[in-house]
């Protein structure tokens, strides 16, 4: 229970990596603000935390909406008296299409959720973190950092590369306040994020490379699990990583190196 007395905010906590992180942090004693835009999903995450003996607050929120984010983070800090850990995980794949086919509104939607949402998470949470210090973990990706061969994913890779840049910038800015800022960059993880992907014109953008024995060396091609990422998030949230900041950690089984 190394996070007992700590309070955590997890965005995109209704499924996948966000849900796994919320459950893992709660399992170590943290009180968790379970934030997401799909009410039934975040209700289920919160219920699982409570059934395991933990404490959770449901925060139905659009991460790209400033007023909603301010209200949600304020409610969490007011209920539990503090905020120590932030996991900025909410994100979408959005539309993947050739650049001359990708519509401006499609580009803007991905940037609004993935990048504006990350900014607003920091913007709303940092005033509370400054009171005693803490840890922020941004969930980025190998896409836009180690790999660039995902067909048509221009908006997505732009947002993921920018997240790592924000992490490194703010690690320096916030260090004087004892706030550590790091990123996890997953490769292929068995989540439902592909459900919110629209793919067009793949034949026009795909790189014709195949790996007969799988492109994830450590598993022989099998995708990782959300819990694999949650374990790294726990490390970065805890005092075990007290001297780690401004660092992207790749959780991809070697996939990014092979590509």
The C-alpha atoms of residue 95 and residue 108 are separated, in whole angstroms, by 10
In DSSP terms, 95 is beta-bridged to: 198
- Output phi, psi for 251, to 5 deg: -120, 80
The C-alpha atoms of residue 254 and residue 5 are separated, in whole angstroms, by 36
The C-alpha atoms of residue 95 and residue 102 are separated, in whole angstroms, by 7
Is the four-CA dihedral 173, 174, 175, 181 of positive or negative sign?
negative
- Written as one string, the DSSP assignment of 189-257 is BSSSGGGGEEE--HHHH------TT-S-TTTTT--B-HHHHHHHHHHHHSGGGTT--S-EEEESTTHHH
Establish whether 250 is a catalytic residue: no
Q: Which of 80, 107, 156, 250 is catalytic?
A: 156
CB 106 within 8 A of CB 155: yes
Residue ranges of alpha helices (H) inside 92-224 are: 104-111, 117-129, 154-174, 202-205
Q: State the CB neighbour count (10 A cutoff) for residue 212.
A: 6
Q: Supply the residues annotated as catalytic.
A: 156
């Amino acid at each position: 229970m190394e996070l007992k007395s700590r309070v955590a905010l997890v965005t995109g906590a209704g499924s996948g990596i966000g849900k796994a992180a919320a459950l893992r942090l709660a399992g170590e004693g943290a009180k968790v603000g379970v934030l997401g835009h799909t009410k039934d999903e975040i209700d289920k995450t919160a219920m699982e935390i409570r059934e395991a003996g933990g404490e959770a607050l449901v925060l139905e929120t659009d991460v790209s909406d400033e007023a909603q984010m301010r209200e949600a983070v304020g409610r969490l800090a007011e209920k539990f008296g503090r905020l120590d850990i932030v996991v900025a995980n909410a994100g979408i794949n959005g539309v993947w299409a050739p650049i001359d086919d990708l519509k401006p509104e499609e580009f803007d939607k991905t940037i609004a959720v993935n990048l504006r949402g990350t900014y607003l998470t920091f913007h709303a949470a940092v005033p509370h973190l400054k009171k005693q210090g803490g840890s922020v973990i941004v969930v980025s990706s190998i896409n836009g950092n180690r790999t660039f061969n995902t067909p048509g994913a221009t908006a997505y890779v732009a947002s993921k590369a920018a997240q790592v840049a924000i992490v490194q910038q703010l690690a320096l800015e916030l260090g004087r306040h004892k706030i550590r800022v790091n990123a996890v960059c997953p490769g292929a993880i068995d989540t439902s994020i592909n459900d919110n992907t629209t793919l067009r014109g793949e034949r026009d953008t795909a790189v014709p490379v195949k790996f007969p024995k799988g492109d994830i060396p450590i598993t022989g091609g099998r995708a990782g699990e959300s819990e694999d990422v949650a374990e790294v998030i726990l490390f970065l949230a805890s005092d075990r990583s007290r001297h780690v900041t401004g660092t992207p950690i790749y959780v991809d089984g070697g996939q990014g190196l092979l590509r």
